[in-house]
Chains A and B, each alone.
Chain A
Amino acid sequence: MKHIKTLNTKNLKDTMKKGGCGECQTSCQSACKTSCTVGNQSCENK
């Protein structure tokens, strides 16, 4: 019987190693100009 199903394939902690390059899109340049949508952006350094 399966009780737990994990959806992610990536753990945030792992992004500490090579993250922070800053090449990704600024959130307010995507669609919104009135809230902070950082989590909605894509990584450019996968």
Chain B
Amino acid sequence: MKMEKSYKNKGIRLLFYFLLISIGLIFPVASFAETPNLTARTLENEIMNILGKNIQCKKIVVQIRLSQEKPNEIKTLAVKFENAVIGDLVADYITILYEKPVIDFNQLKKAKKFKIISSSEGKVGILISAKAIERYIAGRVKKLKNKQARVSIRFSPPYAEYFFDIPVSEIPPKTLKLLNKYVKGKRLEGYTALQMKAKDNSLFALSSKVIVNHFLIPGAIRQELQNMFNPFYRIPVLSPLRYSINNVNVQNNYLFLTN
């Protein structure tokens, strides 16, 4: 009897161990199936398609590099947009780099939404060419009553130079009041050398020199004009990406904005 009992107990124990082992084996497989199988290429394509639906641009490139130590972990995720529309401007290139990003895979798979839950560090770089700014100004000029305005830009690091020839009728009354002494005819023609600053996605222009209708504008008036116009542009954030522009510098061919 005792023997029989002990055999029964052994059988139950064996069954219990078998169950435990099988649970242990099944669960990791199940949880692995829950986390996405990280094939960089498929994930890149998926993110690219989702962003393509939300962001107006000519081309999107997504680059994912997986961690060598943990193959299921993303080391870096870089997204580049070419000719991306940010507000009224078209940026030549926007590149966003996330280090060790944690992507919300549920949202990505089910809702087809791209969302980064967290990342250790991020870099944003926006390149805007002089031509892109001129196109933006041309667009503004089209909206004017008197379309005889000419504005051109040249980048001379660390300055951005603006050459303008605008009908007086298109100048806001407040500005005109300040420049009253320098208005001779019906046009405001001149030059300005600007240095740029950025803070919390806003762009500021600091004028180092302003010439209007052959007159060098004194510092005090320059300062007042500066206060009147700044910030001169608010940089919209491309949804669903998150970034804050706090740095800008003028380069040979581009205005380079970074976080």
| Bind each other | no
